[in-house]
């Protein structure tokens, strides 16, 4: 009798999750982010063009599976490692625009909001605009390690996934080289290594499919890395431009 009640209760939870997901809005796949604008100094004279980034990441998805048998029979975990998560199809399907464009646009938007230059254009959209400086980026690494915990394929597994045992965890790493080029001399006048990492964990299916703050979990975590690292990058760029203006 008790078993039948548990099964019915579990079935109702699964149905409610299914219908809540069907009615949910589509998750944001962009890596756009927000930082408070810093207007301590005026914009630098000239026009900045932000170009599509160069992709130097390993162009292959690798995976390595590990199994662990613990105190509960049948428990194991599987690790997936992806160097190109913008086409990732592991536990959580993710098919965003190519990161070489997505990261460039996100950084362009943030630099524009911070008024680093008098005028800023996104070159993939305005490729024939006359510019004085060009911001270039190199994608060195956007790795994603996903660890999925598996509790079997029976009714027992569904209870564990819904009730809140570890379900899936993520490790994100981002490495982008930013460089500012002066067009009239073709000199690179500023270089910055934008690096960061994050760990994110989920304990049931609903958390995983819901996303965070309207974003897909992959977009959310890479956006957070940018949000943490870009204020320092902008300050460094402004200081370089101010020193050039004084010389």
CA–CA separation, 209 vs 244, rounded Å?
Answer: 49
pLDDT of residue 60: 66
Q: What does the pLDDT look like over 202-220, one tens digit per residue?
A: 877 777 788 899 999 999 9
Which of 18-32, 97-111, 119-133, 151-165 has the weakest average pLDDT?
A: 151-165
Report the pLDDT value the prediction gives residue 58, as an integer from 0 to 100. Answer: 85
Do 109 and 101 meet the contact criterion of CB atoms below 8 Å apart?
no
CA distance 221 to 146: 13
The top-level CATH class assigned to 27-246 is: alpha beta
Averaged over 57-80, what is the pLDDT?
61
Query: Per 3-state DSSP, what percentage of the chain is helix, strand, and coil (rounded to 5)?
Result: 35, 30, 35
Alpha-carbon distance of 87 to 95, in angstroms, equals 5
Distance of alpha carbon 51 from alpha carbon 77, whole angstroms: 41
Ranges of each domain in the chain: 27-246
246: left (phi over 0), alpha (psi -120 to 50) or beta: alpha
Burial 138-163 (b: 16+ CB within 10 A, else e): bbbebbbbbbbbbbeeeeeebbbbbe
In this prediction, residue 19 has a pLDDT band, given cuts at 50, 70 and 90, of very low
Determine the Cα–Cα distance for residues 193 and 140; give it in Å rounded to an integer. Answer: 10
What pLDDT is stored for residue 2 in this prediction? 44
Mean pLDDT of the chain: 82
Query: Are the C-beta atoms of residues 138 and 188 closer than 8 Å to each other?
Result: no
| Window from 3-12, 15-24, 32-41 with minimum mean pLDDT | 15-24
């Amino acid at each position: 009798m008790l078993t039948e009640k548990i099964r019915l209760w579990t079935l109702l939870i699964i149905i409610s999750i299914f219908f809540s997901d069907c009615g949910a809005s589509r998750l944001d796949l962009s890596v756009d982010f927000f930082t408070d604008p810093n207007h301590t100094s005026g914009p630098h004279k000239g026009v900045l063009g932000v170009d599509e980034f160069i992709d130097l990441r390993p162009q292959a998805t690798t995976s390595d599976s590990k199994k662990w048998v613990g105190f509960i029979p049948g428990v194991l975990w599987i690790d997936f490692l992806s160097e190109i998560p913008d086409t990732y199809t592991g536990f959580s399907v993710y098919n965003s625009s190519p990161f070489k464009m997505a990261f460039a646009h996100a950084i362009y938007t943030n630099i524009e909001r911070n008024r680093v230059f008098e005028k800023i254009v996104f070159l993939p959209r305005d490729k024939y605009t006359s510019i004085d400086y060009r911001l270039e980026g190199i994608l060195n690494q956007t790795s994603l390690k996903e660890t999925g915990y598996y509790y079997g394929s029976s009714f027992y597994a569904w209870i564990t996934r819904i009730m809140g045992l570890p379900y899936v965890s993520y490790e994100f790493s981002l490495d982008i080289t930013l460089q500012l080029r002066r067009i009239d001399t073709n000199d690179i006048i500023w270089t910055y290594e934008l690096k960061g990492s994050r760990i994110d964990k989920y304990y049931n299916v609903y958390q995983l499919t819901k996303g965070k703050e309207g974003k897909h979990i992959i977009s959310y975590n890479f956006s957070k890395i940018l949000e943490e690292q870009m204020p320092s990058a902008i300050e460094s760029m402004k200081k370089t431009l101010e020193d050039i203006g004084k010389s």
